[in-house]
Amino acid sequence: MKFFVDTAELDDIKDLAATGLLDGVTTNPSLIAKSGREFVPLIKEICEIVDGPVSAEVAATDYPTMRKEAEILRKIADHVAVKVPLTPDGLKLCKELSDDGTMVNVTLCFSAAQALLAAKAGAAFISPFVGRLDDISHDGLDLIADIVRIYDNYEYFDTEVLVASVRNPLHIVESAKMGAHVATCPPSVIRQLYNHPLTDKGLAAFVKDWEKTGQSIL
């Protein structure tokens, strides 16, 4: 499974990229607003840090304006994935951009039917929102299982399942078990993957025993 980080904060992106765990970045209008940065220059900076796909979302909702915005975004770098909403106009733009060789991330997916449409439109990524479904008492992971199962039925679907709205490590692990291609997570959730009380306990014991030897490797 590939790990994307869902943030527009450069410090977090740099830190996670240095670990070798980071395969890409996703942003959205809310994350850009939170960063307080100017959109296009910020995406350019992120692209200079990360070699993998960097999702940059159009702000408009009508096709003509989205099309103009997409032209600006995809010229930032070859590995920009233009992010579009799962609407008729968004899928129309997805088809056009995909046919022209541009990666497209179709976002705000909440049903398997929507995911099927995105794949037929040539999306590079479909972003089903697990956490937001959980918030309304639907099992978001059931949606991931359905999409993976459908996509596996058709060899000509190249769309990768990008699990979004990830709230905890369990979302990541269960999605990986189902065969989802990518998980995009807040930095805090990626860092939670390191944590296990037995690791902490074992390391503390090793440190204590080493101190007893009175030795130094340096």
Query: Are 43 and 26 contacting, i.e. CB atoms less than 8 angstroms apart?
Result: no
- For residue 211, the model assigns a pLDDT of 96
- For residue 109, the model assigns a pLDDT of 98
- For residue 198, the model assigns a pLDDT of 97
- Residues 159-216 have pLDDT tens digits of 999 999 999 999 999 999 999 999 999 999 999 999 999 999 999 999 999 999 999 9
| Residue ranges of domains in the chain | 2-193
- Residues 33-77 have pLDDT tens digits of 999 999 999 999 999 999 999 999 999 999 999 999 999 999 999
Kindly report the pTM of this predicted structure: 0.94
Mean pLDDT for 138-164 is 98
- For residue 36, the model assigns a pLDDT of 95
- For residue 124, the model assigns a pLDDT of 98
- What is the second-level CATH architecture of the domain 2-193? Alpha-Beta Barrel (3.20)
**66: number of Cβ within 10 Å:** 24
User: Which residues are known to be catalytic?
Assistant: 83
If you write DSSP's letter for every residue of 91-135 in order, what string do you get? HHHHHHHHHTT--EEEEEE-SHHHHHHHHHTT-SEEEEBHHHHHH
Q: Which pairs from 113-118 meet CB under 8 Å and 24+ separation? A: 114/86, 115/146, 115/147, 115/150, 115/151, 115/159, 115/161, 116/150, 117/86, 117/91, 118/86, 118/91, 118/94, 118/159
At 19, the pLDDT band (50, 70, 90 cuts) reads very high
- Residues 93-129 have pLDDT tens digits of 999 999 999 999 999 999 999 999 999 999 999 999 9
Cα separation, 87 vs 61, whole angstroms: 8
Residue given tokens 């037929």 in the structure block: 120
Residue given tokens 């890409």 in the structure block: 24
- For residue 58, the model assigns a pLDDT of 98
Q: Which two tokens stand for residue 157?
A: 């679907």
